[in-house]
Each structure stands twice: as C-alpha cells, then as structure tokens.
Structure 1
C-alpha cells in the first residue's frame, strides 16, 4: 500500500518499496524521499568498471581471508530519513555476518559509485545518504569517461569537506578494507586505456 502525502505525491516506505514489483518494465529504481527514482541504464564502460572493481576487491578480500564481502547493486538504507530512502550503489562492501534472509546490505564499510554522464548529478546527490550510514568509512566515485576517481574518507568520525582526488598515475588506497591498487589497473580492460590494435 502506498500512502498519499499532503503534497499530493505518492509516498512509499522502504518496506513498501522492497515489496513493490516495479512498473512492469526492466527499469531499476532507488527510493528517494519516498519516491521511486528510475536508474539510468549503464554504459558498457560503466559495466566493465563495475565488474573490474568487484573482481579486484572481492579477490583481495578472499586472498587475505577477510570476513568482508563485496556485493554489486545491493540495497542500502541511509542513516537519515531511513524510512523513506533506499539507495542501490554499484558496489558495496560489508563485514557483517551473512544473513541469507536479509533484503538489505547490512553495515556497509565501503560504497562505490561509477559516475556516468547521464546520471552523474543524481549519483553525486547520494553522497549525503551514504555518509549518514554509521558503518560507512569510505565512499568512492569512479569516472566512466576518463581515468579518475574521488575518495571520501571518514576521519575521526567526521567527513572532510573535500575528497581525495585520484588521477591516472595514482594509487587507489581503500583503508576500510586494507587494499591498494594502481588506479589504471581498474581501467585496464576499458577503451579508456586500451591501445588500438
């Protein structure tokens, strides 16, 4: 059941959203202040980056025997306005015990979003939602049109006003999971670094 707000817009809770069957299409949605928001289809480069990051990060976690796990497109709920907000990041890492009945990713420590030209503004607007989750230590935005990233890292409980900018020649350091990799390696199988045949 969807409640009607005083403004006249339909409002939905997280619980209602999780039970919602969608609009009958293959469109993916997030819940933003009680309103389902369509997520733009990903470009091929976006998809390659998502797979590369998942492979690299999950491989690292397995190699070090970490209890943490990486998940793609797993729903997370912000710490603020949590009854009417749910986001679906491209990748997230949790160190919470596995619960096969869980519908949400519990206690993410790292959230990764890949920025695409068609939805960069909406994706960036999720920063506040992710930063409000008490367990989140790092939020990574990865570019899909050039080699580059921005890392927001919680320090002593606070979020700095400016992100760490990571360029093509820099190393990506994810302190939340003890991982470091040359950023260029994340892009290795994309057209952004591949040389023509």
Structure 2
C-alpha cells in the first residue's frame, strides 16, 4: 500500500516502482520527484515557469530547422535508467519526436534542463549532496544525453554541460550578453533571451512592481 489516503504521500522510503504507482494516484497538475526514496512535491515560481517556457520556445524553433526528428517539451516524464532510488523530473527535455499516443515517459533524452528551485538546493537525505547536484550528475550519466543546462532563477547564471568525444565540458555564463551555443540542437541565443520579462530583466517601464 503506497499511502493511507490518496492525499497522503508515503511516510517510508519507497522504490521507483512504488513511486510511479503513487504518482498515478495523484492529480494531473501535480509534479513529484523521488529523492533517495522520499517522494517530494515540486513547487515552482512564476519566474521559474517563464524561464522554462522561454527555453522550450527557443529550442523548439531551433530544432525545427536543425533536426525536426527531435522536439523540446516542458515537464516531461523521464525514465533515466540510472539513479537507484532517485527519480528526478526535469523542467524540460529534448527527445525523439515520434512518441506514441498515450505515452507518459521517455527513456531517451538528448538534452535535460533544470531551473533551480529552493527545493533543489536542499541536501538529499543521507548524503552531503544538494538535490540539484544529484540531478545534474544523473542527467550526465544518462547515456543518450548530449547536453545539460542548469539555470538559476534568482540571478543571471547559466551552467551548460556539453558531451564531447573526450568527455563532458562545462561553461558557466553570468553576463546577459554571453551566448548559449549548442550546435547539435541548432541553438544560438543570448543569456538575456532566457531571462527576458523576468524581474532580473523586466520589460521596459515595468520596474519591479509586485
């Protein structure tokens, strides 16, 4: 039995299979991750969702030109095939465009991205790693993955990991005019393109009004 009631998450560590059964009982609008056997609900901010949407739009446009066999999707269900009792849910991913009707999960992602939430900064129970560090490590361990993007929502800071023939190479971008270039995905945009219309780069004349 996964929970005493539909509204109550399990009070004990559970397996990935039990976690998927628990997810299936939850309302469609909820997002959950399994963190070292502990179900954790994902709560996001407006800026988080704006940045995610912008990245999906930029990649969708780029992929239409570069490789229409792939698509960008916000909040996909993924089965990474790594991680033991960790089941992260990326904020967005690039995967094959030929998915099946009714398909909920993909097990082949080429790009995985996270916009860092407060919960991502929490230490994983029983470890010294932050959850965002675990997620980044698992994404890089996912064999088909070619790129990982980690975006901070409280400051201009984008970490880009790209898989090369000799291993992973990382670049941190902290200026709005720096370029994010991912040739395999046809993406060439500025850091500003991700943060536009957020409190970090508000529309002209709006200031920081609540």
* TM superposition score category, shorter chain reference: 0.7 to 0.9
Matched with 1:183 is 191
Say which of 43, 47, 50 aligns to 2:49: 47
**Secondary structure in 2 aligned to 1:11?**
coil
Matched with 2:68 is 66
Question: Which ranges in structure 1 are unaligned for 5 or more consecutive residues?
Answer: 3-7
In the TM superposition, residue 177 of structure 1 has moved relative to its aligned partner by 0.9
8 Å contact kept, 2:65–2:186: no
Matched with 1:128 is 137
Specify whether residues 24 and 181 from structure 1 end up closer, same or farther in structure 2 by C-alpha distance, changes over 3 A only: closer
Q: CA RMSD in A?
A: 2.6
Residues in 2 aligned to 1:81 and 1:47: alpha-carbon distance in whole angstroms: 26
Specify whether residues 146 and 12 from structure 1 end up closer, same or farther in structure 2 by C-alpha distance, changes over 3 A only: same
Q: Which runs of 4+ in 1 moved over 4 A?
A: 22-27
Say which of 6, 10, 13 aligns to 1:10: 13
Q: TM-score, normalised by structure 2?
A: 0.77
Specify whether residues 103 and 139 from structure 1 end up closer, same or farther in structure 2 by C-alpha distance, changes over 3 A only: same
Matched with 1:164 is 171
Residues in 2 aligned to 1:45 and 1:116: alpha-carbon distance in whole angstroms: 10
Residues in 2 aligned to 1:106 and 1:13: alpha-carbon distance in whole angstroms: 14
Specify whether residues 34 and 108 from structure 1 end up closer, same or farther in structure 2 by C-alpha distance, changes over 3 A only: same
Matched with 1:149 is 158
Matched with 1:108 is 109
In the TM superposition, residue 27 of structure 1 has moved relative to its aligned partner by 4.8
Query: Deviation string for 1:8-40 (max 9, x for gaps)?
Result: 9432233x322324567965211233332222x
Question: Which ranges in structure 2 are unaligned for 5 or more consecutive residues?
Answer: 3-10, 122-129
Specify whether residues 93 and 25 from structure 1 end up closer, same or farther in structure 2 by C-alpha distance, changes over 3 A only: closer
**Secondary structure in 2 aligned to 1:10?**
coil
8 Å contact kept, 1:114–1:143: yes
Residues in 1 aligned to 2:40 and 2:58: alpha-carbon distance in whole angstroms: 30
In the TM superposition, residue 60 of structure 1 has moved relative to its aligned partner by 1.9
Residues in 2 aligned to 1:33 and 1:75: alpha-carbon distance in whole angstroms: 18
Residues in 1 aligned to 2:107 and 2:89: alpha-carbon distance in whole angstroms: 13
8 Å contact kept, 2:161–2:168: yes
Count of residue correspondences = 187
Q: TM-score, normalised by structure 1?
A: 0.81
